[in-house]
Amino acid sequence: MSDSPLPLDAAEETRARIDTTKPHSARFWNYFVGGKDNYEVDREIGDHIKEIFPGLVDVALTSRQFLGRAVAYLAGEQGIRQFLDVGTGLPTADNTHEVAQRVAPDARIVYVDNDPIVLAHANALLTSTPEGRTAYLDADLYDPEAVLRAASGTLDFSEPIALMILNTLGHVADHDQARDLVGRLVAGLPSGSHLVISDSTATSEGMIAASEAYNASGAVPYYVRSIGEIAGFFDGLDLVDPGVVQVTEWRPDDADGPGAAEVAVDAYCGVGRKA
């Protein structure tokens, strides 16, 4: 079962909200993972950044591979049946519900994003199995309680939920505020829930230069954090092995291709369990 995001007459209004004069992170990221749902303005800054820091392509691709491994681990080894994916991005290959429902067809997934272009493409995220369910919320990370309230229309908050916030927290410039938002989301989840985070890190001059170039482009800025700051999001949770590591090092899988685990990237991740 799936929940339609938009009455048809609202689709046009949503498209009118899409700003094609400035780069947008969902479209920029879509360009980096090889998608087609981006505009000239996104490709221009994307190409510039590929020139100054080609490593961002690896960050984007390996972060999506991490998503796949983390969701398969949670659904397969931890028996998680519910996922709340905040900062979903544009649909691509192996979205959260596709990975989860391959392992557990009855899995329920709620996607959350505040970009109108993601809303406009959300039908591709709603291709649920008959036993499971997917929903899309046009909602804002800055209002965690509203996100949780709306998600409770699809998810059962008496059962564990995996909260996924991948490559999105950099939009929250102030680290204390980012921690507060994550903490408020986690506070609303039951025991046995998990927090999954990945993000770009200020671990090379190239990544810092890429971040500066992106932020100078007129896009909503994206700040890259230290490894310690990424680890801090998991305070109070039990970190799943191997802890906070580069995205390629988290439970690597041969399915990602030979040598995938050895690729060095400026992106770190972790999975933590709420006791």
Ligand X SMILES: C[S@@+](CC[C@H](N)C(=O)[O-])C[C@H]1O[C@@H](n2cnc3c(N)ncnc32)[C@H](O)[C@@H]1O
Of 2, 5, 25, 188, the one binding ligand X by CB under 6 A: 25
106 or 184: CB nearest ligand X: 184
Q: Is 225 in the site for ligand X (CB under 6 A)?
A: no
Q: Enumerate residues 69-88 that contact ligand X by CB under 6 A.
A: 87-88
Does 29 contact ligand X by CB under 6 A? yes
CB of 66 to ligand X, least distance (A): 9
- Cα torsion angle, 254, 267, 162, 31, sign: negative
Residues 13, 243: Cα–Cα separation, whole Å: 44
Position 138 contacts ligand X (CB under 6 A): no
* Residue 165 bridge partners (DSSP): 197
Select the residue whose beta carbon is closest to ligand X and give its number: 89
Q: What 3-state class would DSSP assign to 255?
A: helix
**Residue 239: enclosing H or E segment and its boundaries?**
strand 238-239
* Alpha helices (H) along the chain: 8-16, 25-32, 40-52, 55-76, 96-103, 116-120, 144-151, 175-187, 205-215, 227-232
Shortest CB 14 distance to ligand X, Å: 13
Question: Which of 106, 140, 159, 253 lies at the binding interface for ligand X (CB under 6 A)?
Answer: 140
Are 104 and 75 within 8 A, CB to CB? yes
Least distance CB 149 / ligand X (angstroms): 15
Asked if 106 interacts with ligand X (CB under 6 A), we say no
Residues that bind ligand X (CB under 6 A): 25-26, 29, 63-64, 87-89, 112-115, 118, 140-142, 166-168, 171
